[in-house]
Structure 1
Amino acid sequence: MPVARYCLVALDCPDPPALAGFYKALLGGTVEKYDDDWYDLYTPDGNRIAFQRAPDHRPPQWPRADANSQQLHLDLTVEDMAEAESEALALGAMPLDLDDKDGQRGFRVYADPAGHPFCLCRA
């Protein structure tokens, strides 16, 4: 019997409503404000991502670096890589590693507007 149940992933960031809006545009769903320092995104598939204000937030480095590791990243499945990439970049994502070996690798790496790495992965 498990000890706990999964609840959410919380991302530290300097601007919770802005980052929640980025992920809402990327994933869909609804954003709910808990207070000025905490926003939740409830995705259409029932998952929850939280965004917590961290005024001194330092984005993780990609690729990993000893002084500031990536800490975590999100994998997001997409049907059309080119279309998803175009939309993610238009929303403010930053490319980190787009060399998917002509589709053989199956994913590309980006950073959200606060610098957190995430991957767009082929379905």
Structure 2
Amino acid sequence: MIGTLRAYALDCPDPRALAGFYAGLVGGKIVEEDDEWVELVGDHGPTLAFQRVEGFRAPAWPTQDAPQQGHLDIGVTDLDAAQAQVLELGATLLEDWNGTKGWRVFADPVGHPFCLCAC
């Protein structure tokens, strides 16, 4: 092993706002380093980091015009209840396959895709 995963970083226009969204989604404590970088530290899994980028361009779903470049899978026990909660937090539903799959695709408030997955 060469190293350990320290953080998964997402580019965004406002690190504090996006960290707040993900804190509502997965819990954790927001640790602000400065206006350019904010970390969300949780009890489980790696740290999520949010990096301010001027001229941020959101990923596109499902095209590759602005590739998603990665996404998060969030395990949930009740897809319908979790969907209602993430929509209330500010997520946008991108694809639900009319409920025929065990996951649904959303975008966070600045356009990063993430999935809610039944577990």
TM class, shorter-chain normalised?
A: over 0.9
2:60 paired with 1:22? no
Q: Please, what is the CA RMSD of the aligned residues? A: 1.2
The 2-side partners of 1:58 and 1:117 are apart by 13
Alignment pair present for 1:75 and 2:100: no
The superposition leaves residues 24-70 of structure 1 with CA deviations (integer Å, 9 ceiling, x where unpaired) of: 011111000001110000123142000000121100000132x3111
Whole-angstrom CA distance in 2 between matches of 1:107 and 1:118: 10
**5+ residue gaps, structure 1:** none
Question: Which residue does 1:62 correspond to in 2?
Answer: 61
| Number of residue pairs the alignment of both structures matches | 119
Letter in 2 for 1:70: Q
What letter is aligned with 1:53?
R
Gap runs ≥5 in structure 2:
none
TM-score (norm. length: structure 2): 0.95
Using structure 1 for the length normalisation, give the TM-score.
0.92
1:106 is matched with which residue?
A: 102
The match for 1:94 is: 92
- In percent, how many aligned pairs have the same letter? 46
3-state SS of the aligned residue for 1:20?
helix
